[in-house]
Amino acid sequence: MYLKHFGLSEFPFGLTPDTQFYFGLPSHKEALNVLLIALQSGEGFIKITGDVGTGKTMLCRKLLNQLQAPFITAYIPNPHLTPAGLRLAVADELGIPHGRDNDQSRILQRINKHLLKSASKKQKTIIVIDEAQAMSEESLEALRLLTNLETEKQKLLQIILLGQPELDTLLQKKSIRQLRQRITFSYTLKTLTTKEITDYIKHRLRIANINNPNIFSKPALLALHFYSKGVPRIVNILAHKAMLSAYGKDLTRIGLKQVQLAAQDTDETCNRHHPFEFRIGFLFALLASLGLLITQQIGILS
């Protein structure tokens, strides 16, 4: 495809959350700091929310790769489980053996024994649950009961909930108020600004070993922000398709036209084709850039 054409060693805009391409966006840095501070303080529940495609799973993998001893981590990517299934998943992730009969009281006893043993070794056990908005009220209550396992000094288990905004709606239910009250740290991931998209695009291109990371023109970058609304996953999709379009025309630089074509070819953005609105936004951005340049020149002359 376009790897050789642009001098790339790999595709820079894949949808798989590859931590090699992790870019410390301000919102992600803040979320990571919240997580690390909360984990160090030993709080029971931590919540991170963000819209679809804002990088929750990438952030999760970055955290899991970064945590070392004394932390022990368990990752549950699909929490659409019954309470019994959730306890089994926790046991399996922590490497706790359980009998074939799957007796729930025995499984809970074994989880408790395992956590006490880990705590005696000064280890901290963390369960990370991705897509937590998919959990049932019953499973959330079962999760809360797991955090009741504690000594006089500390919680034996810390839980990180990552989910879409629907998770906040779910947690507002009266039946889950006890869990909601235990969430001491929370953070909401933000979408990207035009400046952040520019830095993000260049970073991923550099990781893919391109010689010139400035192959996206200024209008193309503005268009990426306009059509993606700052959602990283949509930025990746549009950037990839725009590069394909440029390759098809034997172009070495991606312009506004290529991003527009990419947007028209993508279900999520095909209805955002508002040329007048975009041109007005582009004009204002251009005038702002021009004003900044004039101000800098005046400052140099003075």
Q: Residue 102 and residue 100: Cα distance in Å, rounded? A: 5
What is the number of other CB atoms lying within 10 angstroms of the CB of residue 225? 22
Beta partners for residue 291, in sequence order = none
| Three-point CA angle 237, 242, 246, nearest 5° | 155
DSSP strand pairing (183-188 vs 71-76) = unpaired
Cβ atoms of residues 155 and 44 within 8 Å? yes
pTM here is: 0.84
**Can you list the domains of the chain with their CATH numbers?**
26-188 (3.40.50.300), 192-301 (1.10.8.60)
Q: Sign of the C-alpha dihedral, residues 93, 99, 103, 105?
A: negative
Locate 78 and state its tokens.
């699909």
Q: Residue 103 and residue 120: Cα distance in Å, rounded? A: 26
What does the pLDDT profile of the chain (302 residues) look like in tens digits? 789 999 999 999 998 889 999 998 899 999 999 999 999 888 779 999 999 999 999 999 999 998 888 899 999 998 889 999 999 999 999 998 877 666 788 888 899 899 999 988 989 999 999 999 999 999 999 999 888 877 666 788 999 999 999 999 999 999 999 999 999 899 999 999 999 999 999 999 999 999 999 999 999 999 999 999 999 999 999 999 999 999 999 999 999 999 999 999 999 998 876 554 455 555 555 565 566 566 666 665 55
Q: Residue 7 and residue 217: Cα distance in Å, rounded? A: 18
